[in-house]
Amino acid sequence: MNTPVTIIGAGLGGLTLARVLHVHGIPATVYEAEASASARAQGGMLDIHDYNGQLALKAAGLMDEFRAIVLEGREAMRVLDPDGTVLLDKADDGNGGRPEAMRGELRRILIDSLPAGTVRWGHKVSGTRALGDGRHEVVFADGTTLLTSLLVGADGAWSRVRPLLSDATPAYTGTSFVETYLHEADIRHPAAAKAVGGGLMIAPSPGREIFAHRESGDTLHMYVGLFKPLDWFAAIDFTDAEAATARIAAEFEGWAPELTGLITDSDTAPVLRSLHALPTRHRWDRVPGVTLLGDAAHLQAPNGEGANLAMLDGAELGEAIAAHRDDTEAALAEYEQAMFPRSAEAATFEGAEMPAIDSEANTARGLIDMFTEKAE
Ligand SMILES: Cc1cc2nc3c(=O)[nH]c(=O)nc-3n(C[C@H](O)[C@H](O)[C@H](O)COP(=O)(O)OP(=O)(O)OC[C@H]3O[C@@H](n4cnc5c(N)ncnc54)[C@H](O)[C@@H]3O)c2cc1C
């Protein structure tokens, strides 16, 4: 293959693709909007599953590097009622089925595994255009352009490559997360730290929920979920951290103080993340010379699978391209044939159907029943 593969987006999906291509001796260039690898904080902890994310890391030849960044003990899980009663307390069994690592660390090992210059930072794509015969023009925000005969959109939720394949756009799911952090929690917030435990803590209730992760050290990272329309959040001034925190916390009135403290004691200003999703069975007809992976292809509300799927997409696409070096279309067709059903099935949590946040089943008991059914 003479023409390098053009990948838009240096998220986990695009980087995994570039790495697997490199393992097979195929050149690729990744164009990334951000100015550098450290331009933006990379968010929280990800559990990397043995049935998707870890398969991708194996294909990338990076399992040793991955094991070195795993945060021990973080597979523990607790489910609490709003009054603080612990209904499930599962220790980390150490079997490594879904070890946790920080997203930034995972991204770093992928970037470090690529030849220098593979990622072109500060290249924001503003548009793409079909030229016929499987060739495409990519237009960057600074007005420069490039032509490519193999284009991969790995540019996330608001992909600029997706319009070449599909008219679909992400829609609001009805839920937003508000992110908070407690640092040095064991010493400064012992009750909250105890409630969260050693790994993941979930406290669900119809219309609202708190997810908390113990990250490196004793930092607690919370996603506070509320099922509310976008204009409800728009009426809150998130530049006034104190008032915004109070407004969000008011939705958890009556909850145990060790749980509401995860909101009110935050060491950082609350950050709003509105959750969008593409239609669950989003797909497209084959268009020569271009495809999508990860969130660009199948953005879903967070269910613990998105980053894992993006990495597996990248790995499988890389392997398909390597297996069909003289036939790009065969490679893209083979990749998409497996990717479409896989992502449709993954609209679940750990392989089971999550209760919708606004349903009456979104309770600690409902969640535990779901885990139990899955185990049987
Ligand atoms: C709150 C929250 C929690 C989550 N928790 C988990 C979890 O625990 N486990 C899990 O597996 N998944 C989780 N996910 C989902 C996961 O984050 C995504 O599915 C995953 O990051 C998708 O990877 P990607 O490579 O497809 O896209 P992204 O990670 O979005 O990467 C896209 C890249 O493209 C770049 N880009 C965007 N536009 C352009 C452009 N125009 N030009 C050039 N570059 C561009 C971006 O800067 C970015 O670097 C969570 C998501 C959210 C919102």
pLDDT 10s digit of each residue in the chain, 376 long? Answer: 445 799 999 999 999 999 999 999 999 999 999 999 888 776 788 999 999 999 999 999 999 999 999 988 888 899 999 999 999 998 887 776 788 899 999 999 999 999 999 999 999 999 999 999 999 999 999 999 999 999 999 999 999 999 999 999 999 999 999 999 999 999 999 999 999 999 999 999 999 999 999 998 889 999 999 999 999 999 999 999 999 999 999 999 999 999 999 999 999 999 999 999 999 889 999 999 999 999 999 999 888 899 999 999 999 999 999 999 999 999 999 999 999 999 988 865 554 556 678 888 889 898 888 777 665 5
Cα–Cα distance measured from residue 326 to residue 72, given in angstroms and rounded to the nearest whole number = 44
Query: How many of the other CB atoms lie within 10 Å of CB of 372?
Result: 11
**How far is the centre of ligand 1, averaged over its atoms, from the C-alpha of 309 (Å)?**
11
Query: Which structure tokens are listed for 125?
Result: 């794509």
- Written as six digits, the tokens of 30 are 């990744």
Hey, do 5-72+99-169+279-345 and 171-277 end up sharing a CATH topology, with the first three levels equal? no
5 CA from centroid of ligand 1 (Å): 20
Q: Rounded to the nearest 10 degrees, how much is the dihedral formed by the CA atoms of 192, 195, 200, 204? A: -100
Q: Where are the domains of the chain?
A: 5-72+99-169+279-345, 171-277
Q: Distance (Å, rounded) from C-alpha 282 to C-alpha 351?
A: 19
pLDDT of res. 376: 59
**Quick one: which of 282, 56, 329 has its CA closest to 159?**
282
How far is residue 220's CA from residue 223's CA, in Å, rounded to a whole number? 10
Q: Which atom of ligand 1 is nearest to the CA of 293?
A: 26
Nearest to 185 by CA among 195, 170, 175: 195
Q: 214 — phi, psi (to 5°)?
A: -85, 115
Integer angstrom CA distances of residue 136 from 11, 99, 153, 362:
22, 39, 12, 46
- Dump the DSSP string for 233-265: HHTS-TTSHHHHHHHHHHTTTTS-HHHHHHHHT
Ligand 1 is surrounded, with C-beta below 6 A, by 8-14, 31-34, 46, 124-125, 154-156, 160, 177, 223, 273, 294-296, 302, 304-308, 310
- Tell me what pLDDT residue 44 has: 84
As a whole number of angstroms, the distance between CA 197 and CA 262 comes to: 13
- 283 alpha carbon to ligand 1 midpoint, in Å? 19
Q: Residues at the annotated binding site for FAD?
A: 47, 103, 295
Best CATH choice for the domain 171-277 from the list 3.40.50.720, 3.30.9.30, 3.40.1190.20, 3.40.50.2300: 3.30.9.30
Distance from C-alpha of 92 to C-alpha of 98, rounded to nearest angstrom = 10
Class of domain 5-72+99-169+279-345 (CATH, top level): alpha beta
Annotated binding site for NADPH: 40
If you compute the radius of gyration of the chain from its CA atoms, what whole number of angstroms results?
21
Give the mutation target among 16, 32, 293 for probing the ligand 1 site: most ligand atoms within 8 A of CB.
32
Ligand 1 atom closest to residue 275's alpha carbon, by position in its atom list:
53
Answer for the pair 215, 183: CB distance below 8 angstroms, yes or no.
no
Which segments are annotated as binding site?
A: 40, 47, 103, 295
Contact 10, 111 (CB under 8 A): yes
Does the reported pTM lie above 0.85?
A: yes
Q: How do strand 119-120 and strand 28-31 relate by DSSP bridges?
A: parallel
Closest CA to 262 of 355, 194, 349: 194
| Cα(326) to centroid(ligand 1), Å | 31
Whole-number Å distance, alpha carbon 334 to ligand 1 midpoint, is 24
Element housing 193 (H / E): helix 190-196
Helix, strand, or coil here: 72?
A: coil
Residue 292 tokens read as 């999508």
For the sheet with 28-31, list strands across it.
119-120, 28-31, 5-8, 151-153, 290-292
